[in-house]
Chains A and B, each alone.
Chain A
Amino acid sequence: MKKGLAALLCWLVLALPAAAGEVTGHFDLMDQNGRPVTDASFAGRVRVVAFGYTFCPDVCPTTLSTIAATLDILGPKAAGVVPLFITVDPRRDTPTHLKDYMEAFGPSFVGLTGPEDAVAAAAAAFHARYAIQPPADPADPNTYFVDHSAGIYVMDRQGAFVAKLGHRATPDELAERLEEVLRK
């Protein structure tokens, strides 16, 4: 029994850091206009955050379209929400490139990039994971994929983590969640 308890305690101690590892949502990056921004830059607004990259070589997730459709559902309330897209491919996703891309989803979309270590730190702050793969075409170093975890993060007006929705969440589901957070 004692042994069992000790084992349980040991397991708890080992398991706790991972379980309690908070999604802080901190980042120190630059937007598609080249302006330096941090999570504090969006204080007072609810944030919807997704990670990804624009050079999807085979298929592209529709996550940002889902977020755009969600903002349409929210109507005027969407003014209280800022959609953030954090690239996991800062080498190819330059601010200039992100500027064109974000425009396709709507004027309020913010695309974030930065030095590789800053992007890695941002991903870690959201417990998002990514891995740059070898080039699909060995003759062309620019043909690499970036595998990354998917999902949509909701952070409240103070920037605290509220929820992570799956990448297949519908605009209605996301809108409902945001309505709750906006009411607080």
Chain B
Amino acid sequence: MNRRSLLATAAAFAALSPLPAFAVRAEEGLFVHKERRLVPALDVRDGESQPVTLQGPALVNLWASWCLPCVSELPALDRLAPQIEPEGVRVVALCLDRSGNVGAINTFARLGVRNLGVYVDYQRKAGEVLGAAVLPTTLLMDAQGREAARFIGPASWDAPEAIALLRALAAGRTLDPAMAPPLAKPRAAL
């Protein structure tokens, strides 16, 4: 879905369900940056609280255990990792929980996540430093450590579109909003 069709979909949705003017709802989808910017350094720790340096190319997914759409998206990332990591793209699910690696490890265990490493936003600065006002937000970081694009909202990260997008990232190609993976459908509450 490209940017225009995404907007058209959003407009169609708005027409069906008029959004009150006061509501703040983030625009979701893939946002490709005209100018890539260096991802600021963050204090990222692994499951043993050891410092980790994020290196591109990588998909860096910001999540928290209290964020239900984030948790719903983790299994797709877990399925993606063994498909794309051999091609040189790291899949980093960065946990923003206050409880640090405890929250990440417990959530992974509950979901049966097997392939994702534990990464924790140790100083709890990632949301602010990366300008993520909503979760999930996923950054696509190129081989030079620059943010090439970000996806706002939950996506089907193991869909063929996502894999093609990450291959383009790894190959250093120009990304296009038309390469967006499908938005994951809103989950059913409870």
125-184 of chain A: CB within 8 A of chain B: 129, 131, 133-134, 136-137, 140, 142-145, 147-150, 167-168, 170-171
The yes or no answer to A62 lying at the interface (CB within 8 A) is yes
A69-B125, A170-B128 known; A58+B186 contact, CB < 8 A? yes
Q: Is the CB of B67 within 8 A of A147?
A: no
Q: Is the CB of B25 within 8 A of A147?
A: yes
For the complex, give the distance between the alpha carbons of A62 and B98 in Å: 13
Q: Is the CB of A167 within 8 A of B124?
A: no
91-132 of chain B: CB within 8 A of chain A: 96-99, 103, 124-125, 127-128, 132
Hey, which chain B residues are within 8 Å of A106, CB to CB? Answer: 98
Q: Is the CB of B186 within 8 A of A57?
A: yes
Hey, which chain B residues are within 8 Å of A59, CB to CB? Answer: 25-26, 28, 69, 134-136, 152-154
A65-B127, A148-B23 known; A54+B17 contact, CB < 8 A? no
Nearest Cβ on chain B to A129's Cβ, whole angstroms: 5
Main secondary structure of the interface of B (DSSP, over half): loop
Q: Is the CB of B20 within 8 A of A54?
A: no
Select one of A101, A129, A134, A150 contacting B20, CB under 8 A. A129
For the complex, give the distance between the alpha carbons of A137 and B152 in Å: 21
Nearest Cβ on chain B to A3's Cβ, whole angstroms: 33
Nearest Cβ on chain B to A139's Cβ, whole angstroms: 9
A142-B190, A147-B25, A167-B133 known; A133+B69 contact, CB < 8 A? no
Nearest Cβ on chain A to B66's Cβ, whole angstroms: 4
Q: Is the CB of A56 within 8 A of B68?
A: yes
The yes or no answer to A77 lying at the interface (CB within 8 A) is no
For the complex, give the distance between the alpha carbons of A25 and B77 in Å: 42
For the complex, give the distance between the alpha carbons of A61 and B98 in Å: 16
The residue of chain B having its C-beta at the shortest distance from the C-beta of A172 within the complex is B128
Select one of A92, A133, A145 contacting B190, CB under 8 A. A92
The yes or no answer to B187 lying at the interface (CB within 8 A) is yes
Chain B residues bordering chain A, tally (CB within 8 A): 38
Q: Is the CB of B186 within 8 A of A167?
A: no
Q: Is the CB of A168 within 8 A of B189?
A: no
The residue of chain B having its C-beta at the shortest distance from the C-beta of A144 within the complex is B189
The residue of chain B having its C-beta at the shortest distance from the C-beta of A106 within the complex is B98
A57-B187, A65-B127, A68-B98 known; A167+B24 contact, CB < 8 A? yes
Nearest Cβ on chain A to B144's Cβ, whole angstroms: 27
85-121 of chain A: CB within 8 A of chain B: 92, 101, 104-106
Nearest Cβ on chain B to A56's Cβ, whole angstroms: 7
For the complex, give the distance between the alpha carbons of A69 and B28 in Å: 25
Nearest Cβ on chain A to B124's Cβ, whole angstroms: 6
For the complex, give the distance between the alpha carbons of A171 and B128 in Å: 8
34-90 of chain A: CB within 8 A of chain B: 54-62, 65-66, 68-69, 72
Select one of B65, B127, B186 contacting A62, CB under 8 A. B127
For the complex, give the distance between the alpha carbons of A136 and B96 in Å: 28
For the complex, give the distance between the alpha carbons of A144 and B81 in Å: 32
Shortest 8 CB-CB contacts between residues of A and residues of B: A147-B23, A59-B134, A57-B186, A104-B66, A150-B24, A60-B67, A55-B189, A149-B22
List residues of chain B with CB under 8 Å of any chain A CB.
Answer: 17, 19-20, 22-26, 28, 64-70, 96-99, 103, 124-125, 127-128, 132-136, 152-154, 186-190
